[in-house]
Amino acid sequence: MRLGIIGLPQAGKTTVFNAVAGARATVGGFGQPGEIHRAIVKIPDHRLAILGEFMKSKKLVHAEIEYLDFPPPLKTDRGSENVFPPALRECEGIVAVLNCFDPLISRSPLERLKDLQGEMLLSDLIIADKRRVRLEKDQARGLKGNVAEYQAVKKVVDLLEAEKPLRTADFSEAEKLQLRGFAFLSFKPLLVVLNTAEGSEAVTAQVTEITIDPTIGADTPVTSLCGNIEMELADLDKSDREAFLADFGIDEAATTKLIRLSYERLDLITFFTGAEIDSHAWPIRRGTVAVNAAGEIHQDIKRGFIRAEVVPVETLVELGGMAACRKAAKARLEGKEYQVADGDYILFRFNV
Ligand SMILES: Nc1nc2c(ncn2[C@@H]2O[C@H](COP(=O)(O)OP(=O)(O)OP(=O)(O)O)[C@@H](O)[C@H]2O)c(=O)[nH]1
Ligand SMILES: [Mg+2]
């Protein structure tokens, strides 16, 4: 799962990227045109450590997501679908970074977010409209085109012309299937980061203004952090970082919160497996059923699926193992269609 970090020029995208990824990409350099930084980030999860300790695991395997740091939208290409690099279309979610540290910027964060969103709407519209024209031409020539696709594309064009991002509209599963291949940017879940100056919190009014704006959508989380401080923090080793946080009475770095929010925004939850070799946190989409969760581990486990034995990982550790959980009637046997819950520890029974 990938999240693309985007923003207007000099918003602090690369700084935020360095902070979440512990990376050291050059900041303030106005990037190389077209240069994209990528990094895989482990999802912090205290439950994995607890499980690993209990299982005496040699290794912990975290759930991961990938962040991509993009250059700003191309100004010269305004009005084309290539304002953003194609790699952004391959991301499952988008993080928009807004410069709130420079007091000389007069447009409000909301206005700048709308500018950025405007670019996304436009590039989606160009793609959708091209397709609409093509399908209408086919119809005019008497070709029996795909009616369902035409209707879905027409709906998209209408929404975009009304400047409505697709993620705020309702689509049926059938429509989504028709639209999947277009990878529309405004369809992707969005997360907003206000990048604030050192020592200043985000202005609550700015956050609220974005949160309640109907063109952004109520589902869009808005968080704030100071990119510079977070980047320095990410550069410290673990004990120094903990000491730093304790000094300031902070229990969690803002980037940790951002990573957690990213994970949630992608609609991911975690289930666990564990043994002496390793304890493993597995990311899956919320709503995934047991048999498909099994497939994440191995196709054989999916194919030969019999039952899943399930218990919350905390209960497993607290009661001291699966046998004790069975005895206390805390472990459940679930079938293929069981919707896996966040924090489930699962033993798959399978036969191949
Ligand atoms: N004071 C302050 N400056 C920041 C902060 N975050 C970024 N900057 C500065 O803003 C400038 C741009 O930072 P980058 O992270 O390179 O911004 P960017 O959005 O990646 O820039 P481009 O990729 O060129 O569009 C640098 O000089 C940073 O030091 C912050 O939290 N506080
Ligand atoms: Mg940059």
Ligand 1 pocket test: pick from 6, 10, 225, 232 the residue with the most ligand atoms within 8 Å of its Cβ.
Answer: 10
Bridging pattern class, strands 64-69 and 190-196: unpaired
CB of 189 within 6 A of ligand 1: the answer is no
- Residue 135: per-residue pLDDT: 92
- Residue 143: per-residue pLDDT: 78
Select from 265, 298, 328 the last residue of a domain: 265
Distance 242 CA to ligand 2 centre (A): 28
Distance 36 CA to ligand 1 centre (A): 16
- Residue 27: per-residue pLDDT: 86
- Residue 18: per-residue pLDDT: 94
290 and 346 Cβ atoms separated by less than 8 Å: yes
Q: Is residue 133 part of a domain?
A: yes
CB of 13 within 6 A of ligand 1: the answer is yes
CB of 255 within 6 A of ligand 1: the answer is no
Ligand 1 atom closest to Cα of residue 9: 25
Taking ligand 2, which is a single-atom ion, which protein residues have CB atoms under 5 Å away?
13-14, 31
- The whole-angstrom separation of Cα 172 and Cα 148 is 11
191 and 223 Cβ atoms separated by less than 8 Å: yes
- Residue 142: per-residue pLDDT: 80
- Residue 335: per-residue pLDDT: 96
Q: Judge if 251 and 206 occupy the same domain.
A: yes
User: What CATH number did the domain enclosing 337 receive?
Assistant: 3.10.20.30
Rounded (5°) CA angle 332-350-279: 70
CB of 120 within 6 A of ligand 1: the answer is no
Q: Is residue 270 part of a domain?
A: no
Q: What is the DSSP letter of 300?
A: H
Q: Judge if 217 and 238 occupy the same domain.
A: yes
User: What CATH number did the domain enclosing 128 receive?
Assistant: 1.10.150.300
Mean pLDDT for each consecutive 10-residue tract of the chain (352 residues)? 94 94 82 82 95 96 96 70 88 96 92 94 94 91 84 97 95 95 96 88 82 89 90 86 80 87 96 94 97 96 96 96 95 96 97 88
Q: Is residue 57 part of a domain?
A: no
- Residue 90: per-residue pLDDT: 95
Q: Is residue 331 part of a domain?
A: yes
The helix/strand count (H/E) of the chain reads as 13, 12
Q: Is residue 56 part of a domain?
A: no
- Residue 80: per-residue pLDDT: 67
261 and 194 Cβ atoms separated by less than 8 Å: no
- The whole-angstrom separation of Cα 262 and Cα 95 is 8
Q: Is residue 303 part of a domain?
A: yes
- Residue 78: per-residue pLDDT: 53
- Residue 31: per-residue pLDDT: 60
160 and 124 Cβ atoms separated by less than 8 Å: yes
Q: Judge if 149 and 247 occupy the same domain.
A: no
Handedness of CA 12, 13, 19, 20 (dihedral sign): positive
Domain that holds residue 336: 287-350
- Alpha-carbon separation of residue 272 from 60, 61, 308, 313 (angstroms): 11, 10, 12, 7
> Is the pTM above the cut of 0.85?
yes
Q: Judge if 6 and 140 occupy the same domain.
A: no
Distance 10 CA to ligand 1 centre (A): 5
